[in-house]
Chains A and B, each alone.
Chain A
Amino acid sequence: MSSNNCCCGIVDEKARKLQEIIENHKGQKGALIPVLHEAQDVYGYLPMSVQKTISEGLDVPLSEVYGVVTFYTQFSLKPKGRFKINTCMGTACYVKGSNLILEKLQEKLGIHVGDCTEDGKFSLEACRCIGACGLAPVIMINDDVYGRLTPDDIEKVLEKYKDL
């Protein structure tokens, strides 16, 4: 197939990578989800334009692509912040008061779960057990884990990101 669908002429780095991902998986059975994972790694989220390219590239109806993207919570239609805050709401963290941590984060950032601050700096998510129950309650900011937290610690934690 030669459906190299560049209409605008500017094939930027991300678009090129996306094509590569699609090429690598073309013809493979059950390729859609692996392709979506890799595409999200490139773009940070899955805007409609990316879903469309994938739909055409893999020859899967767009409605199906969209259906899969919206089914799984790992896939995001919205861009995330530069710093992704994930609050563990697993059971071990919950019985140790993670809901109070989450409330504090919402209050300090002025956003709700699933949203991003206006400057695009922080986004806030709730997740399930991240496997660090020994340190419960825990939050993750990008790849860094903060454990044994109390609501009072949140300010100090956010302080670290002030000038970043």
Chain B
Amino acid sequence: MEFYRAHVLVCGGTGCTSSNSEKIRQEFIAQLNKNKLDKEVQIVVTGCFGLCAQGPIVIVYPEGAMYTMVRLEDVQEIVEEHLIKGRLVKRLMAGDKDHEDPSKSLENVDFFKRQVRIALRNCGVINPENIDEYIAYDGYKALAKALTEMKPEDVIAEIKKSGLRGRGGAGFPTGLKWELTSKAKGSQKYIACNADEGDPGAFMDRSILEGDPHSVIEAMIIAGYAVGADQGYIYVRAEYPIAVNRLEIAIAQAKEYGLLGKNIFGTDFSFELELRLGAGAFVCGEETALITSIEGHRGEPKPKPPFPAVSGIWQKPTLLNNVETYANIPVILNKGADWFTTIGTEKSKGTKVFAVGGKINNTGLVEIPIGTSLREVIYDIGGGIPNGKKFKAAQTGGPSGGCIPASHIDTPIDFETLRELGSMMGSGGLIVMDEDNCMVDIAKFFLEFTVDESCGKCPPCRIGTKRMLEILERITGGKGEMEDIEKLEILSKNIISSALCGLGQSAPQPVLSTLRYFRDEYIAHVKDKKCPAGVCKSMMSYVIAADHCKSCGICARNCPVNAISGDKKVPYVIDQEKCIKCGVCMTKCPFKAIFKNA
């Protein structure tokens, strides 16, 4: 390998790519060439650093200086100041700029301080398109150890001992699943990876695949050895082009190095890996549906049992785990189950990655020990709620989960506590809501999602969720009645007990959970015909405060439906019949004379 005196890491995750990191990279190349530094400084494109809201992000080593929101015109300054003169560009640095050693800015960014990175260990650290970098960071060491020093049952025993639980949502003990698959009858078995990541608003798995694809590949090979399978499938969403591309590169490189294929590490163990692209159906994240989809059919779920461990892809025993679950495996084998069990809570070991989004300052990816409180995630890591607003609730588990209200903000996050609160861990989406969000509207949003995504196979889900949505539409439309609330509860119960698969069984959760903690909001919509958060359009209006209006006419000129009239010297008024509540007038009024009346 050539020697470089400095490395410039440019984030190539989806968030930063969207905020133009590719152009930043090209500008670095141009600037380095111009200054003849291209032999001294290497540019590395990495996966997501986690702090996507501050993107595009650039880190310069050896100092480890993290530059945020880098613009094209900043590149020249970074090159001339930092790389040539050795002076940090403090203006662009994240974290405590006046710290004694500002170069260690990565360590003093609150966002990173409290995180423990196991599944994300290599994200933002290595170039995901280069297998040598993965290997340099202990990559494929666990595979070598498993194949040459351990028997399959030793591998399973170690995973069992680690206490690792599935990160795809349900938290099923991973070691036990491996054992069940290994004991299942049959000579042909399969390994599958669930990279369908359906929770809208979550991108943990995507970031792992984009930032560290080899960790998943290595784990799947280990799993193949442990349960006795020689073929694996990664089922990944077609909507993730960068992840798909990096997986393809990684698989090809692993093949080239003899880590996939015949007689891996000179043993008689062989393993092949193929990608299968999902095609945009949320239900395919459900394990039996995913398997049907890999087989090439409509992804409709099947009743369980039989479980995939017994009868999965082409009716053969199949081990299915989530991306993040796999990403933990190599580390557990390298560092040992005993080390892993020191992290987390009594019943849930290790860490969990969350995609924190919504009304929070540091939107991004965080990996925290299980048992960390929601308060720490939102305030210490997430930097709190923007614009001085009040925290109202956090939604976990996406359309299958529920919300955690402000009164429970100190709850330690683990599988059991979240379930007791009526939510669930889910795959890791964590959406923060503030006082401006209407909880009835949020429940409606998730139900619209399930109605859209229901595969239609069983009536309780197909028809029941539609009924529930109609009721919610009535309530948010100002036409609800008190008995509608009861009807929602009865329908929920029926759907939960009779739907065929997890999608239907959990679809009522967002409604039940918001009813549990925000019943008064439902009642306000039904009884007072008011939306306290001012979201539901049918229940609010825009009004002009006559004593503040300076009759400038700006609002009237901007109203798309000509709903505003007035004249010089007389205050303007909004014709409520015509108004479509677009809110344009309020943003345009230079004198803040227009307000929302909820």
Check B279–A95 contact: CB distance below 8 A.
Answer: no
Q: B299 near A: Cβ within 8 Å? A: yes
Q: B562 near A: Cβ within 8 Å? A: no
Return B462 CB to nearest CB of chain A, in Å.
14
Check B295–A131 contact: CB distance below 8 A.
Answer: no
Check B299–A96 contact: CB distance below 8 A.
Answer: no
Check A134–B298 contact: CB distance below 8 A.
Answer: no
Q: B552 near A: Cβ within 8 Å? A: no
| Range, interface on chain A | 35 or more
Total A-B Cβ pairs within 8 A: 143
Chain A 129-158 interface mask (CB, 8 Å, partner B; 1/0):
111111110100000010100011000000
In the bound assembly, the distance between CA atoms of A23 and B432 in angstroms comes to 49
Q: B277 near A: Cβ within 8 Å? A: yes
Task: Tell me which of A73, A107, A127 has the highest count of chain B C-beta atoms within 10 A of its own C-beta.
Answer: A73
Q: A83 near B: Cβ within 8 Å? A: no
Residues of A near B531 (CB, < 8 A) are none
Check A94–B445 contact: CB distance below 8 A.
Answer: yes
In the bound assembly, the distance between CA atoms of A107 and B201 in angstroms comes to 25
Pick out which of these stretches binds chain A: B145-153, B355-363, B566-574. B355-363
Residues of A near B19 (CB, < 8 A) are 132, 135, 145, 147
Q: B437 near A: Cβ within 8 Å? A: yes
User: Which residue of B296, B355, B432, B455 is within 8 Å of A33 (Cβ)?
Assistant: B296
Return B403 CB to nearest CB of chain A, in Å.
11
- How many positions in chain B have a CB within 8 Å of any CB in the partner chain? 59
Q: A24 near B: Cβ within 8 Å? A: no
Residues of B near A18 (CB, < 8 A) are none
Return A153 CB to nearest CB of chain B, in Å.
12
Pick out which of these stretches binds chain B: A6-14, A84-92, A116-124. A84-92
Check B206–A96 contact: CB distance below 8 A.
Answer: no
Chain B positions 17-50 with a Cβ under 8 Å from a chain A Cβ = 17-19
Additional 15 contacts, C-beta under 8 A, given A71-B281, A91-B445 = A37-B238, A71-B298, A73-B279, A90-B200, A95-B358, A103-B582, A129-B200, A130-B239, A131-B13, A132-B15, A133-B355, A135-B53, A136-B358, A151-B584, A152-B584
Return A32 CB to nearest CB of chain B, in Å.
4
In the bound assembly, the distance between CA atoms of A92 and B429 in angstroms comes to 9
Residues of A near B464 (CB, < 8 A) are none
Check B298–A133 contact: CB distance below 8 A.
Answer: no
Check B295–A92 contact: CB distance below 8 A.
Answer: no
A131/B14 contact (C-beta < 8 A), A37-B279, A92-B201, A136-B357 known:
yes
Return A65 CB to nearest CB of chain B, in Å.
10
A37/B239 contact (C-beta < 8 A), A68-B297, A71-B298, A91-B201 known:
no
Task: Tell me which of A36, A134, A138 has the highest count of chain B C-beta atoms within 10 A of its own C-beta.
Answer: A134
Residues of A near B52 (CB, < 8 A) are 132-135
User: Which residue of B17, B279, B364, B445 is within 8 Å of A74 (Cβ)?
Assistant: B279
Nearest opposing residue in chain B for A31, CB measure: B296
User: Which residue of A67, A90, A130, A136 is within 8 Å of B298 (Cβ)?
Assistant: A67
Check A68–B357 contact: CB distance below 8 A.
Answer: no
Chain A 73-113 interface mask (CB, 8 Å, partner B; 1/0):
11100000000000001111111100010010001000000
Check B201–A68 contact: CB distance below 8 A.
Answer: no
Return B200 CB to nearest CB of chain A, in Å.
4
Check B358–A72 contact: CB distance below 8 A.
Answer: no
Check B298–A30 contact: CB distance below 8 A.
Answer: no
User: Which residue of A107, A128, A145 is within 8 Å of B18 (Cβ)?
Assistant: A145
